[in-house]
Structure formats: structure tokens, C-alpha cells
Amino acid sequence: MAEVHLSLSTSHEYCLSPLIFAFIDCFRCRSIETVLEEFHSGAESSFSRLEELLGDCIRTFMDSDLYQDDVRFLKIWILYADVTQDVEKVYLEMEDKQIGISHSLLYEAFAFLMESKGDLVEALSFYQLGISRKAEPLERLKKMHKLFLNRISDFVDSCSNKNQKSYINPWATSTIQDILQKIDKNILKYDVRYLKGFHRSLKKYAGKVPLNSLHTSSRNKVIELGGRKYQIKGCSGQGAFARVYKAFENSNPDDVVALKDAINSYLVTGHCMEEELCIYYTLEMLHMLETLHSVGIIHGDFKPDNLLVRYARGDLTEEEFIGRKGAWHDQVDTYCLCVITHMMLHGTYMEIEKKPSSDGSYHYQPKSSLKRYWKVDLWKNLFSTLLNSSSHGNNPVVLQSLRETFEDHVCGDSQMIRKLKQLLVKQRASLCSS
């Protein structure tokens, strides 16, 4: 029997050994071999016949433990995914049946398929998933991952040259390493797959508690994921694609809440957050954006739902505020910071108005007035600077200056630090004790 070649992309081929049919009865063997030859010769009718035969083969043997980790059966699945073009659905079935998950060929082939469809993000995720699982041969997979990044890097560079503009290539390993090094060189000591903050798995959930039951009642339910138990404390929010739940791993409490929850805890009682807390959280947000913008990263979705508050275990001291290192461009983030700060101070969404200046120009400011007993100069400087900024590259310097102004204010008032500590302890008890 002649070898059959399956082309997964324009520049990559995989060899389907004749032994791939050894575990299939002779009728299927002859049929698949014949149709494959017709398919590669260009016969139009062979396409649907090949899809039908491959599907029949998979359905017959997919539940057999004998072929679960057999690379020959894995190649049949890959061929089926390529023929049907329903790559995601086929892969989910393979994950469910645990077909070939220890072979690097699985991740390499599906990465090629996704790349051929133009879905570069999913292609990258397949490489990362295979490497995180230490699929064998691992070195080959790492090599193919590096070649993938180089291909994308070359593509982006060529586009940059054509447009005669300077672009940063986000796919380049050097870009990723450079950004992490600038933020904190110690980050590079961690395994790169944990920097994402999650472990990707498409394996079908097999826990005792149905996940769809969390939509109606989630509080204190215990679910098992990836060999670990999580006690669900409730739904923290719902985005465009999924709900986010707060959970304790192995029932160990971790005093973390979304800033949205802290703000809402005041709004439901008709009150606004104390100014000391507003100053504290604004200072922290300034530090976040200063860190991101200083290395060229724009968050793009800076809002209370996406900001987590981790309450300190020990005492709050002055040292915590000092010695830190730290179309629309950067303004998309700084405007959102103003919106959040306004929400904390006033309990309402920020509306802005255009006011004439003494020099004949205009400036923007919030419509809501600041209370006389607040730190008016501090807040006026913040809103005026960020709502009228057009720094384009000087943004980190502006954020640093504002952040230092807030730090100087906090550190210069020992009574405020004591009151802030009391308020944080009270807020933590209110939001984390239930």
C-alpha cells in the first residue's frame, strides 16, 4: 500500500502510514485508501465519501481504550478535522475522549489548521496547551512553536515595511520578554504558562454539580475542576462571553473582591465612599496605569468589574505608599480612571462639560461639583489633567506626577493613614465575612 500524504497547510505535510489501517477491517481499509487516492487526484465526488468513511471509522473506535493513545488513530482524527473544516468541534470531541493528548502531533496539527484558517490566537493557544502538558516529543513541539512565532513576526514586520510605519510586533518573543523585563524582571522567573492567570483546558466537565445550576443558585456549592475543589461564593459579574464566579480553593478564604463590589456596597445604602478610601483606590489605579503605560500597554477595558481589591493581612503603614517603581491612545484608560473615581466620590456616572478658559481655549471637567470639605485641589488637579491630556507618549510621566501628588498627600497626614486603616478593616469585614 502506498503512503498517503495529508496536507495540513501550504507548507506542511503529514504522512499517514499504511499501518494506520491495521486495526480497521479490510472493507474500511480498502474504502478509505481508494477514496483518499480519488480525493488527491481531484475527483469531486470523493470529498463527501471520504468525510463519511472517516466519520464512520471514528464513531466505531472512539470509545475503545485500545486506540485512545494510538498515534495512528490520532492521524485519522486529524484527517477528519481537515476534511470537515469543523476544527473546534472535532477537537472538543477528542478532548472529551482523551484522544492522543500525550502526543505533540495533536497540538502541532491543530495549530496548523487554525493558522490556515487565519485564527492566530487559537493557533498559539494550541502550542501553549501542548507545551504545558509536556506532550511528546516536546522539543519538536517547542521548535514548531518558535517557528510559528517567527512566521507571525516576519508577517507583521513585512506589513510594517509596506506601510512605512513603525509597529511593535506583539507575537515576537523579544517583545514579550522585553515588556515583562521592564515591568519586573522577577516575573521572568515564573513558568510562562502561569503568567496568563489561568490554565486552559477543553476537557469536558465531569463533576457532580451541574455547571448550568450555577446560573440560578451558586452560593457555597463545591465543584471539582482539574483535580481541585472550589467552593463557590457567588457570581461576581457577567461579561460578554461568560460569567465570573468568586470561589475559595479547598475552602481556604482569600480576601479579594472586585472594586465594583466595594462601590456597590455604598450605593445600595444611598451613601458614597469615604474620601480617604477614594484617595487610596485612586492612588492604586494611578500606579497600575503608570506601570502599564510605561511599557507601552493600553488596558482598554479599565473598569471596576476588572479591578480586584486584595485586603492586606497586616497593618497599613506609610512605607506601603513610597519606594514603588514603577484615535484614542492612553486616554482610553485615563478617562476610565476618572469615571471610576467619580463613581466612588459621587455615586453616579461621570458627565463632563466643555468650559471656556481665560486664554480663549476650552477645557473639560466633570459636571458634578466637589464638596467644600473634600481635598478640592487634589481632585481638581486629577480631573483637569487627565480629561484634558493629549500627551501621546508622555502619559506615564503625567501619571507618575499625579501618583506622587497623591502619595505625598497620604504620607503627609498620619491621621489619614490611621483612618484609612480603620475603613479598610471595616470594608473587608463587610464584604468578605459572609
Residue pLDDT, tens place only, 102-127: 999 999 999 998 888 888 888 888 99
**Does one domain contain both 272 and 307?**
yes
159 with 302, same domain: the answer is no
Q: Please report the DSSP string for 306-331 in residue order.
A: G-EEE--SS---GGGGSS-----STH
Is the domain of 132 the same as that of 57?
yes
The 8 Å CB, 24+ separation contacts for 179-187 are 179/295, 179/296, 179/297, 182/294, 182/295, 183/291, 183/295
Q: Please, what is the average pLDDT of the chain?
A: 75
Tally of domains in the chain: 3
Residue 196 lies in a domain: no
State pTM to two decimals.
0.52
- CATH number, domain of 71, equals 1.25.40.430
Establish if 198 belongs to a structural domain. no
The verdict on whether 301 is a catalytic residue reads yes
DSSP states of 322-369 as a string?
SS-----STHHHHHHHHHHHHHHHHSS---EEEEE-TTS-EEEEESSP
In-domain check, residue 199: no
Average pLDDT of span 281-305: 84
Catalytic residue among 301, 305, 333, 377: 301
Are 236 and 348 within one domain?
no
Residues 143 and 10 in one domain: yes
C-alpha cell of residue 17: 502510514
**129 with 165: CB under 8 angstroms?**
no
Indicate whether 345 and 223 sit together in one domain: no
Note down the domain range covering 221.
211-252
Residue 107 is classified by DSSP as: H
Q: Please state the rounded mean pLDDT for residues 391-401.
A: 74
Q: What is the pLDDT of residues 324-359, one digit of tens each?
A: 443 445 677 888 899 999 999 999 889 888 888 888
The enclosing domain of 289 has a CATH number of: 1.10.510.10
Domain membership flag for residue 190? no
Same domain for 243 and 293?
no
